[in-house]
Amino acid sequence: MSGVNPPGTVFVELIANLMDLVATPDVSRIEVVMAGYEFDEHGQHKMVEGVDVVTKRFFSIERMDKPVQEELRKELDAPPIAALMVLWISRTRQAVGMLRFAIASGKSTRGIEGMNHIEKSIMADYLNRQTKPK
């Protein structure tokens, strides 16, 4: 992992990381999550009770063939994206894995340190989905 993505290369690093995860037998329940602020008719952040409205898009990843990559590219190109995360379950470590991409700065990081409110919300949603009975 490079740590910093030159402009326009987030997609390349995202795909490389997803290919590694899909190829790892220990990893399951891989999800890519993209979040963005909603805007009102004036182009301002939409607010409800003083809080920004955020839309989250979740994508379960089971394979990394061309159609999956093309769909991810299309979604990544649909601005604006305020947060991009990859989440997964590590069966051996019995833990949640996480990779965060800071779209604005081009940095990617692992771990929970420095998570913003959107990323915390994404993580909570992911954990809730994992504990619901199927």
Is a pLDDT exceeding 90 seen at residue 101?
Answer: no
Q: Beta strands of the chain (E only): which ranges?
A: 27-37, 47-48, 51-52, 54-61, 83-90, 95-102, 107-110
Question: Is 115 in contact with 82 (CB distance < 8 Å)?
Answer: no
Residues 12-67: pLDDT tens digits? Answer: 889 999 999 999 999 999 999 999 888 888 888 888 888 888 889 999 999 999 99
What distance in Å separates the CA atoms of residue 131 and residue 119, rounded to the nearest whole number?
19
Residues 74-84: pLDDT tens digits? Answer: 988 876 788 89
Split at pLDDT 50, 70, 90, the class of 98 is: very high
What is the reported pTM? 0.80
